[in-house]
Structure 1
Amino acid sequence: MKHILLIGIGPGDPDALTLAAIKGIRRTDVFFFLEKEGDGKDSLIRFRREILAEHAADRAYRVAAGASPKRDRASADYQGAVEDWRRRRTQVIADLIDGNMADGETGAFLLWGDPALYDGTMQNLHDLIAEGRDDITFEVIPGITCVQALTAKHRIPLNRVGEEIVITTGRQIETGDPATVTNSIVMLDSRDAYMRLRDRPDMDIFWGGDVGSPDEVLIAGPLDETADRISETIKAQRARKGWIMDTYVLRRRRAPDASGS
């Protein structure tokens, strides 16, 4: 049997690793890196290697890398493009496991944030098992998410009394009804979707780029006053290092109650 660990390593701060993540690292025989194309891939791989150098102790381990397939972002069939990408990614993961693990060994993927929040690796392994791979088992070690790191840095609670919490994507903010945005955590926004709501005078934003890393930038305030500064910051970070990981909270300002408070 080959056992796989999906280890959440947090949003980019080495101090954000949990004790469970460190214990998982110290029982792993081979670590799998899925390398993405782009200017920032070297720094992403370097961060993982720094984590191993610090936390793997004296345990002997191996590293096996594979190329992460690209998703067709120009396709008009969004769901179909995602499914095609997922199938190809599942095959890459199967090849890594088959080519680099012996029976009885433990392998691991070091995953940003938490493996259950907008990461497809868990589903890839479920797909492999559903296809009949009875030689694979896996477990998930949760991590600190960018959502938790962001709200901690801004010193705001994730919830407000009597309101729902919505975790969504830039795509949904761009195409959805602006009137439904009350308390939304927005991830995976490559299109500055918050700009669509900038004319709403009652909307605040709590934005963070590369939270927890040396490149961390935090901006908060009324959206109509901060949107341009956020957009320029994103452009500057991408121009400097090729990528940025950003998350933000869009929060509709509550009207004062009858007492004026």
Structure 2
Amino acid sequence: MYDLTLIGIGTGNPDHVTFQGAQAIRNADVILIPRKGENKADLAGLREEIITQVTDTPPKIAYFDIPKRRADDGYLRGVDEWHDAIAVRWHEAISAHPDARQFALLIWGDPSLYDSSLRIASRLDPQPATRVIPGITALQALTAAHAIPINDLGAPYVVTTGRRIRDEGWPKGVSKVAVMLDGECSFQSLEMADYDIWWGAYVGMKEEILIKGSLTDVADQILETRAQARADHGWIMDIYLLKKRTN
């Protein structure tokens, strides 16, 4: 039997790691770190930097490669099979350290918000005792960077994906929508004159880029900036908040 701790580490700024998260890193016997290809090597490097900063004697690190996700058999089925494959990689990495009892993964953002680490952990056999350390989410980092509240006074908001905005349109009954996991800039499917946007890439990191304004005015700027940033870094993480105008 072993323990697995999922540690939210924020959105790329080592200062986002909480005291609780730092203690969990120090308590780990082995930390699993994903490798996502050469273009995303700095994501593994940031995790290594965090471990070095918060420990005097770093724990062992077990690297594992993230398998590619199939996209030829429907989105949900492809993701489900992908999670199965990742769980196999976790199991292999954990099994390579039979004497260890405390394993941990450093989760970008928070394990509970648009992250699948808990779903993957549930596929492990035998099942570990799983613990979650909360972290700063990309949504929190975005609103903090723009110095705005996420909700209007007494009003609800929705957190959703770009795919749903593109396929289903604007959610009913809300004036603000936070959009995550949008590689296609799905705000282009909306009537742009009706919305304002607060967009951010690499929020919380030294590479942070922020753009805000009327969607009509800044949509092209976001598209161009995003494409250039992706080319420069080889990867991009971005998020945005949309507000529907009432007048």
Q: Distance in 2 between matches of 1:119 and 1:19?
A: 22
| 2:11 corresponds to | 11
Partner of 2:212: 220
Residue 253 of structure 1, CA deviation: 2.0
Unaligned runs of 5+ in 2: none
Task: Say if 1:68 and 1:231 are closer, same or farther in 2 by CA, change over 3 A.
Answer: same
CA contact (8 A) 1:30 1:101 kept: no
TM-score normalized with structure 2 length? 0.95
Q: 1:220 to 1:101 in 2, by over 3 A?
A: farther
Is 1:189 matched with 2:186? no
Query: Any idea what the Cα deviations from partners look like across 1:124-175, whole Å, max 9, x if unmatched?
Result: 11122xx5x15x2110000000000100111111111242211111111111
CA positional deviation for 1:70: 1.1
Judge conservation of contact 1:184–1:251 (CA < 8 Å) in 2: yes
Matches within 5 A, 1:1-261: 1-39=1-39, 41-56=40-55, 58-73=56-71, 75-102=72-99, 105-128=101-124, 131=125, 133-134=126-127, 136-178=128-170, 180=172, 182-197=175-190, 199-255=191-247
Supply the distance in 2 between the matched residues of 1:200 and 1:78 (Cα, whole angstroms): 27
**Native 8 Å contact 1:147 1:185 kept in 2:** yes
> Structure 1 counterpart of 2:22, which letter?
I
The normalised TM-score by structure 1 is 0.90
Question: Secondary structure of 2:140's partner?
Answer: helix
Contact 1:2-1:102 at 8 Å conserved across structures: no
Q: Determine the C-alpha separation between the residues in 1 that align with 2:162 and 2:171.
A: 16
Q: Is the CA contact 2:26–2:59 (under 8 Å) kept in the aligned structure 1?
A: no
Between the aligned residues of both structures, percent identity stands at 38
User: Aligned letter for 1:248?
Assistant: Y
Structure 1 residue ranges without an equivalent (≥5): 256-261
Q: Which has the larger radius of gyration?
A: 1
RMSD of Structure 2 on Structure 1 (CA)? 1.5
Distance 1:101 1:109 in 2: 17
What residue identity is the alignment partner of 1:214? K
1:179 deviates by 6.4
Structure 1 residues 35, 96: closer, same or farther in 2, change over 3 A? same
Q: Deviations over 1:42-87 (max 9, x none)?
A: 111110111011101x2341111111111113x2411111111111
User: Which aligned runs of 4 or more in structure 1 are off by greater than 2 angstroms?
Assistant: 177-182
